């Protein structure tokens, strides 16, 4: 039954594919002049890497960027603004399993890939990451595009405090669970939100959509991930999720355009409320919510690791909807 559900979703939604990796490719190119020094350091340090040669594969370029940042931290920072510093275990961040972590490679590639496809990857922009945690995406985007002014906000105060102290390539501030943000109207060129709208109850999601519209300049972009059919497909791979649960989600999406399950999360120094949980949308419902303020510049089903869709929305002219 679960295999049939997956097959039906793939027939409708297709299979996602991230076809370009502009952040990794750009950073590897900038760091390439350091290759001889990196290889010399490899001979003196115990690491998982062999000496780097052609950097022909994506994995080799990603590993080279991480090796250069950890083995030659000052040279890597001077060349790219990449940072080797990592949050300690008591500070919130994703991707904890990699001891050579330097930031969120995947999300940065995904965002830039989508912006390039929409011809919105422009220099000299002021960009905010909502739900930035301790700055993993901000630090990677700042390294990729040095002309951007990067900002991040999150309700977890300890993560923001750590980012303020250790990530000089971004500016960080604490946000509340409900709008408004501590920003002026029309003060941003772009906003990112990774795995945030996948947790909002629909009415809260619409309030935050209006808040993003408030802080964006006309023509500004909003790159946001949200759960839809590909999330159901992704859940089907989990042996603990029963086919009946998947069918219930699909019925909710067909009937109301949303499936929401409240989840009380209390961790670090943040505590969620009744508007937070697991939220999945029919794409028509999601775009209908955005239409009051935004036009759709690009839509990339399942691009976020085969789990969430990516939408790039563009703010229409000033004024209220």
Phi first, then psi: give them for residue 21, nearest 5 degrees: -135, 65
Give per-residue pLDDT as tens, 148-196. 999 999 999 999 999 999 999 999 999 998 999 999 999 999 999 999 9
Contact 109, 116 (CB under 8 A): no
| Domains present along the chain, CATH in parentheses | 2-90+101-315 (3.40.50.150)
Q: Structure tokens of 87?
A: 């949050």
Check residue 319 and give its pLDDT: 45
Q: Is the per-residue pLDDT at 320 higher than 50?
A: no
Q: pLDDT tens digits for 274-300?
A: 788 899 999 999 999 999 999 999 999
- According to DSSP, the β-strands at 171-174 and 149-154 are parallel
* Buried residues in 214-242 as b, exposed as e (16+ CB within 10 A): bbbbeebbbbbbbbbbbbbbbbbeeeeee
Residue 272 confidence class, pLDDT cut points 50, 70, 90: low
Q: Which residue has the tokens 């990796």?
A: 21
- How high does pLDDT run on average in the chain? 92
Residues of the chain with pLDDT > 70: what percent? 92
């Amino acid at each position: 039954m679960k295999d049939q559900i997956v097959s039906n979703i793939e027939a409708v939604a297709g299979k996602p594919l991230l076809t370009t990796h502009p952040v990794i490719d750009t950073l590897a190119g900038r760091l390439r002049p350091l290759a001889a020094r990196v290889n010399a350091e490899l001979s003196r340090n115990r690491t998982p890497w062999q000496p780097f040669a052609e950097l022909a594969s994506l994995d080799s370029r990603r590993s080279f960027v991480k090796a250069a940042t950890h083995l030659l931290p000052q040279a890597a920072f001077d060349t790219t603004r990449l940072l080797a510093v990592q949050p300690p275990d008591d500070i919130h961040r994703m991707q904890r399993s990699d001891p050579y972590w330097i930031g969120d490679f995947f999300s940065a590639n995904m965002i830039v890939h989508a912006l390039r496809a929409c011809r919105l990857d422009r220099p000299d922009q002021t960009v905010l990451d909502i739900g930035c945690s301790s700055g993993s995406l901000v630090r990677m985007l700042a390294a990729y595009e040095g002309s951007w002014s990067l900002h991040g906000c999150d309700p977890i105060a300890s993560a923001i405090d750590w980012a303020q102290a250790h990530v000089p390539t971004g500016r960080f501030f604490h946000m509340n669970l409900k709008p408004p943000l501590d920003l002026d109207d029309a003060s941003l060129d772009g906003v990112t939100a990774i795995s945030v709208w996948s947790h909002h109850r629909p009415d809260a999601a619409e309030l935050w959509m209006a808040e993003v519209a408030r802080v964006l300049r006309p023509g500004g972009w909003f790159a946001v991930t949200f759960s839809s059919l590909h999330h159901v497909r992704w859940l089907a791979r989990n042996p603990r999720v029963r086919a009946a649960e998947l069918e219930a989600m699909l019925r909710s999406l067909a009937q109301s355009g949303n499936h929401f399950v409240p989840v009380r999360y209390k961790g670090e120094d943040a505590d969620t409320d009744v508007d937070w949980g697991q939220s999945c949308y029919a794409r028509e419902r999601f775009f209908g919510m955005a239409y009051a303020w935004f036009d759709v510049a690009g839509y990339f089903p399942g691009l976020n690791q085969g789990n969430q869709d990516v939408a790039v929305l563009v703010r229409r002219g000033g004024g209220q909807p």
